[in-house]
Structure 1
């Protein structure tokens, strides 16, 4: 099965398949590897910080100054997998932007948390989508059962009560307030250990990113890298 072979190749880099689907006749399918609209898509991502050691080993061989190193590493890995299986690779940070969150919700049946990150029944908020593989044919992948949306079971919603500047609320994400706090004198806990709201979530704690990984992502978000 193609999906199993792809998963094996990704596993060597700490990455996993995150589901997929066949585009329907009413979908605006992106261009596939042949120049015609793709027939199917597989999402590629991570659970927890599994790719981190592989990324660090690669990073040590790169120039000290490198823009978007994690995206660059991801492209190198996923482009190689795409070439091996006749697919076109696309990425969340690449223009024109692909609807990755909509694809993920369709592929894995997930729903957004109050923070906007999709809530996974096993990984909680500690997962990511690093790219996708577009195929010219209808490549099938096992469809997961409809997962429980853990946020609907969470009464206290600690993810909305831990940020000192209430960056997340029913009104959305207060980007400027968050950024100012992270850069400010009292923002060290966020700079060194990641988003306090995200860390307050009680689900998926076994997959929580280590502090150094969270610090890396926060530095990238806040322009501190």
Structure 2
């Protein structure tokens, strides 16, 4: 098994998946980087079950998901001779959004959020690995190009999302109302409406946790 394939298997064992891989020309990476791999949770329940069984989840300290991610990805980076990078590193903050758009596996969706070829609008980053060896992933197509109805555009009950703005105030105000309970318990309605998101579905309890931390 190649080092790249071995790493992908090690990520899968933790409930993680390589969402995209960039080559040695990726900007703002450590010297000697040959591949930058953007990493997020798998669909289904494997990642959530693993995190909620972890010491970080049980110890009562803040930010259990970020601390779990840093422990796991830092260990993998060490094992594979690379460097782990995280959205919370900074300032200056690593350019995850720019990396994603440059990777050929993410695009800006009709509601502004990043959309991924497999994860849809559920795409999120737990971190990235800057590796000293090459790793490539299959080329992907923008799922929005084959989505005629684009249901995400009309799914937000208060129209808070568009390609050029996100009305955070309107979103949070809606979540404080009884009608906002569905988004609070099941996750953002626009993200759920994406047909690709449905194949990468999360547990409701995972979405509820993320929404509670977001709304706080």
Range class of TM-score, shorter chain: 0.7 to 0.9
Q: Say if 1:150 and 1:140 are closer, same or farther in 2 by CA, change over 3 A.
A: same
Contact 2:112 2:162 (C-alpha < 8 Å) held by counterparts: no
Aligned with residue 208 of structure 1, among 190, 194, 201: 201
CA distance in 1, matches of 2:65, 2:49: 12
User: Normalized against structure 1, the TM-score is what?
Assistant: 0.84
Is 1:78 the counterpart of 2:79? The answer is: no
- Partner SS state of residue 179, structure 2: coil
Q: Which runs of 5+ in 1 are unaligned?
A: none
- Partner SS state of residue 166, structure 1: coil
User: Normalized against structure 2, the TM-score is what?
Assistant: 0.87
Deviations 1:59-110 (A, max 9, x none): 576323x222111111111011011112111111221211112222333432
Residue 39 (structure 1) shift: 4.4
Q: Which runs of 5+ in 2 are unaligned?
A: none
Q: Which residue in 2 is equivalent to 1:29?
A: 28
Is 1:3 the counterpart of 2:8? The answer is: no
CA distance in 2, matches of 1:70, 1:169: 28
CA distance in 2, matches of 1:39, 1:155: 37
Q: Say if 1:8 and 1:132 are closer, same or farther in 2 by CA, change over 3 A.
A: same
Q: What is the RMSD computed on CA atoms of the aligned residues?
A: 2.2
Is 1:219 the counterpart of 2:215? The answer is: no
Contact 2:107 2:115 (C-alpha < 8 Å) held by counterparts: yes
Is 1:92 the counterpart of 2:87? The answer is: yes
Q: Which residue in 2 is equivalent to 1:52?
A: 48
Contact 1:182 1:191 (C-alpha < 8 Å) held by counterparts: yes
